[in-house]
Amino acid sequence: MKLKFTGFSDPGLIRSNNQDAFYIDPEGRFFIVADGMGGHAGGEEASRIASMQIQKYLISNWDSSKSSDELLQSALWEANEAILKDQQEHSERADMGTTVVTVVFRPGESPYVAHIGDSRLYRFRSSLLELITEDHTWVARALKMGDITIEEARNHPFRHVLSRCLGRDDLHEVDVQPLDIKSGDRLLLCSDGLTEELADEHIAYYLQESTALEKTALSLIEGAKEQGGHDNITVVIAELEE
User: For the chain, which residues make up each domain, given as ranges?
Assistant: 3-240
Mean pLDDT by 10 residues, the chain (242 residues): 94 95 98 91 94 98 97 98 96 94 96 97 96 86 67 65 91 95 96 95 92 95 97 97 76
CATH class of 3-240: alpha beta
Nearest to 129 by CA among 206, 224, 240, 210: 206
How many CA atoms lie less than 13 Å away from 63 in the CB half-sphere?
Answer: 0
pTM for this prediction: 0.94
Tell me what pLDDT residue 153 has.
62
Are 20 and 234 in contact, with CB atoms under 8 Å apart?
yes
Tell me what pLDDT residue 11 has.
97
DSSP string, 1-36: --EEEEEEEE-TTT-SS--EEEEE-TTSSEEEEEEE
